[in-house]
Structure 1
Amino acid sequence: MGEGFAGEVLGRFVAESCWEDMPSALRHEAKRSLLNNLGCGLGVAKDPAVTSALAVMRNFSGAPVATVIGQRVKLDPMAAAFVNAIACNLLDYDDTHLATVIHPTAPVAPALLALAEQRGFSGAAVLHAFLLGGEVECRIGNAVSPGHYARGWHITSTCGTFGAAAGCAKLLGLSAEQTWHALGIAASQAAGLVENLPTAAKNVGVGNAPRNGMLAALLAEQGYKAAPAAIEGPLGFAHATGDTLDLAQITEGLGTQWEIARNTYKPYPAGIVFHAVIDACLALREEVGAAPEVIASVTVAGDALLLARGDRAVNNERDARVSIHHSAALGLVRGRAGVADFEMPAVTDPMLASFRAKVRAVLDESLPRGAATVTLRLADGRDIQRTVVYPRGSFERPMSDAELEQKFRDNAAIGGFADRSEAGIAGVWGLGEAPDVSGLMRALA
């Protein structure tokens, strides 16, 4: 894409991109991302974290034109995007770009769907804008990793704001320069803290990403401007929130090598780095039988991120979804890891609580991110070990379209929308040919 400021390069990339030039496999991946994410949103429609956010935003909403997933209400686009992003990300069941640990869809798609519902944009325009927004957020994420996350910035919320701004800029038809300014404005709004992940404050960061990204694009549309180097300048986003920017991660291969194509989808509602732990424990359970009492201790080895995220006490559902100990217990005691297995009844289950105490986490720097080695010490003194480098749902072992459809059905049923499943699935698969998003959003209402 040539040299220039990071925002300038990205602005030109977004503004000049043509839907007709997007590879068919990439277009299909956009639909897979939406199918996965919207199902996650339906599954938690009755969760207090969602209904409370809805109650707050409803009191301040403008014209009710944008659907809130799984609710009997519409809000203004910013408010709807806020609530829908919370819902789609709430259970840690949404997609993941492993290199950055960004969940790409929740911060971007809710803004695009809400804006499209307000202004009548086509389904193809939404898919195109999503791919561009997802690419921008993942590339900026690559460029500031790993220092950004290590310093405590919640990368889904921060980089997701850039993705939402880029996607909304594309939908609005902004020029390259306007898009550049939208990204610069987004740089002043990108926030969210890792320390808050076990609390509802995490939801606020994720909800603000599409809301603030949309605001950035709308302000740029009206002529607002930002500093040319708002991303990489001496006092810009990258320096303020982490290490120096690796500009090559943004510019090299832009438009030909797609980071958003490396998106992955979860078979388990837990942090992505725990999936290898679950897979290894499920396999070991098959090997030793279903009697957890024969297991004296469990050692889980993984990289620094696995330990930093997951070596924790389990006091609530949020802890459970990012716990090495709970993941191991589910795999070895219950032999499953579904949505219910991370809720409070599972957290307080005496058998699981007792087994979690047998689990020890250790660092193994030789293992790549997302991998884990689980070693069982049996009561008779034998050790049994299993290493999983590529868990189910990873880029190397992706979920199929049929599996994603079933995940959508399962989530919809949990939320009480089983009767809407097939319409929702058909709406996503047919989005590229739809003149607008109204049909899909009706199926999700």
Structure 2
Amino acid sequence: MAQASASETLGQFVATSEWGAVPDAVREAGLRSILNHLGCALGVARDPAVVTALAVMRGFAGAPVATVVGQGVRLDAMTAAFVNAVGSNLLDYDDTHLDTVIHPAAPIAPPLLALAEQRGLPGAAVIHAFLLGGEVACRIGNAVSPGHYARGWHITASCGVFGAAAGAARLLGLDAARTANAIGIAASLSGSIIENLPTAAKNVGVGNAARHGLQAALFAEAGWEAAPAAIEGRLGWAQATGGAADMAVLLDGLGTRWEIARNTFKPYPAGIVFHAVIEACLGLRETIAGADIARVEVVGDALLIARGDRVVRNARDARVSIHHCAALGFVRGRAGVPDFEQDAVDDAALAAFRAKVVAVEDAALPRGASRVRVWLGDGERFEARVDEPEGSEARPMSDAALDAKFLDNAALGGFAARGPAMLAAVRGLAQVRDVAEVMALLA
């Protein structure tokens, strides 16, 4: 008998998984991911990018069956998924699977919530489907990392579409064969590039991953097929996007070792690899308060330098800038959402400090770590290193911190008064019989 392909094995896993067999800690990880996702989407409800995305897509939308978070609008499921994915990912405040740098919730949670709202499905089914979809996305990402990302593919979108397809297939009740086809169809809908990360085109890619994943599942439900080896075949997705998939990494421990349970959450609205930079600078600021700083050297791995050694022209640059994160740590002593907006980019004091910062690569440093060296005007030198910032896998955000982040985001979006009720509703997602009850509160 021929060995099952990646799509077939993943399809079997998704279609046959039992909610009762999912460990409580993994279930909680899924709820935390969805909570963080919805909070991030609420926080940008008034952002021009979200308003524009809604305006562009609304004219082509179908029957209004799914909520656009924070907008008081319902659209068809695929369009709502697109806009909600854009919102969740907009401020670089979303979740991160650090090994792959995939942000799982943005492409996966929106189509599942939209589909469940359309079909009157319970909250527990959404959490289960999210965990299965997130597991598929992260495992495929692991199997092609780091070459896939290094080659220029925006892995959140390019792998997120597989997770969206798998999760949607689960909610649709597809059997193993049709779920495998949904994953294979998603291989033809995968895309987005890193070059566009400092622009709104990044968010289009994430939005497309959400709606294309749902589209793949719907076509599989209708009987469309994909090549069994669409992922790992000689002319399949992995080869086309950079190289062979590591099948052992992709499939070993499937169903017993949960990659999605390793998902992390950000206390700062910036790329996850910049959090150690922020915390090292915040610590040094306390040590040398008021001193005349002449030069700052930020040392990190290749990913940190490749993503963050950039000229800062706008808010999108700021959220992925070594120089801006260091400046915030030393000049402002904080790194909240307003500190990465255009007003902060234009701040003369921050701009002057950014010019003092130099980025240096050190391949010996692990991903997510940073070493910061500071020279004062008199030549004295100080140094700090952070390997595990808050929000990392080793120092996860507490439930209290995650709840506070949700409420802060709700206030940023203009929903301060309703924030506690929204939080309580999302926290109770696993118990609701119809997801529409929760989504109505978030509208």
Task: Provide the TM-score with structure 2 as the length reference.
Answer: 0.99
Look up the match of 1:202: 202
One-letter identity of the residue aligned with 2:324: H
Look up the match of 1:409: 407
Look up the match of 1:334: 332
Look up the match of 1:384: 382
Q: Deviations over 1:298-356 (max 9, x none)?
A: 00000000000000000000000000000000001100000000000100000000000
Question: Does 2:99 align with 1:99?
Answer: yes
Alpha-carbon distance in structure 2 between the residues aligned to 1:404 and 1:69? 19
Look up the match of 2:420: 422
The CA deviation at 1:197 is 0.6
The CA deviation at 1:31 is 1.0
One-letter identity of the residue aligned with 1:188: S
Look up the match of 1:275: 275
Look up the match of 2:55: 55
Q: Deviations over 1:142-183 (max 9, x none)?
A: 001111111110000010000000000000010000000000
Look up the match of 1:86: 86
Question: Does 2:194 align with 1:188?
Answer: no
Look up the match of 1:436: 434
Alpha-carbon distance in structure 1 between the residues aligned to 2:297 and 2:441? 45
Greater CA deviation, 23-32 or 337-346?
23-32
The CA deviation at 1:438 is 1.5
Q: Deviations over 1:177-221 (max 9, x none)?
A: 000000000000010010011111111100001100000000000
The CA deviation at 1:60 is 0.7
Look up the match of 1:65: 65
Q: Deviations over 1:256-295 (max 9, x none)?
A: 1110011000000000000000000000001111x2x611
One-letter identity of the residue aligned with 1:394: S
Question: Does 2:359 align with 1:399?
Answer: no
Alpha-carbon distance in structure 1 between the residues aligned to 2:267 and 2:141? 24
Say which of 310, 313, 323 aligns to 1:312: 310
Matches within 5 A, 1:105-116: 105-116=105-116
What SS does the corresponding residue of 2:328 show, helix, strand or coil? Answer: helix
One-letter identity of the residue aligned with 1:336: R
Look up the match of 1:324: 322
Question: Does 2:371 align with 1:373?
Answer: yes
Look up the match of 2:356: 358
One-letter identity of the residue aligned with 2:46: K
Question: Does 2:272 align with 1:265?
Answer: no
Alpha-carbon distance in structure 2 between the residues aligned to 1:208 and 1:258? 26
What SS does the corresponding residue of 2:358 show, helix, strand or coil? Answer: strand
Look up the match of 2:4: 4
Shift in CA distance, 395/3, structure 1 to aligned 2, threshold 3 Å? farther
Report the aligned-residue RMSD.
0.9
What SS does the corresponding residue of 2:57 show, helix, strand or coil? Answer: helix
Q: Deviations over 1:56-92 (max 9, x none)?
A: 1110111001000000110000000000000000000
5+ residue gaps, structure 1: none
Look up the match of 2:215: 215
What SS does the corresponding residue of 2:95 show, helix, strand or coil? Answer: coil
Alpha-carbon distance in structure 1 between the residues aligned to 2:171 and 2:370? 41
The CA deviation at 1:422 is 1.2
Question: Does 2:163 align with 1:163?
Answer: yes
Q: Deviations over 1:92-114 (max 9, x none)?
A: 00000000000010100000000
One-letter identity of the residue aligned with 2:364: S
One-letter identity of the residue aligned with 2:161: T
Q: Note if contact 1:3-1:9 (Cα within 8 Å) is conserved in structure 2.
A: no
What SS does the corresponding residue of 1:107 show, helix, strand or coil? Answer: helix
The CA deviation at 1:426 is 1.0
What SS does the corresponding residue of 1:106 show, helix, strand or coil? Answer: helix
Alpha-carbon distance in structure 2 between the residues aligned to 1:189 and 1:397? 35
Matches within 5 A, 1:137-176: 137-176=137-176
> Deviating runs (4+, > 6 A) in structure 1?
none
Alpha-carbon distance in structure 2 between the residues aligned to 1:356 and 1:307? 15
The CA deviation at 1:3 is 4.8
The CA deviation at 1:425 is 1.1
Instruction: Report the number of matched residues.
Output: 442
Question: Does 2:28 align with 1:35?
Answer: no
One-letter identity of the residue aligned with 1:223: G
One-letter identity of the residue aligned with 1:263: N
Q: Note if contact 1:420-1:444 (Cα within 8 Å) is conserved in structure 2.
A: no
Alpha-carbon distance in structure 2 between the residues aligned to 1:423 and 1:159? 33
Q: Deviations over 1:354-388 (max 9, x none)?
A: 00000000011110000000000011211100000
Matches within 5 A, 1:215-294: 215-289=215-289, 291=290, 294=292
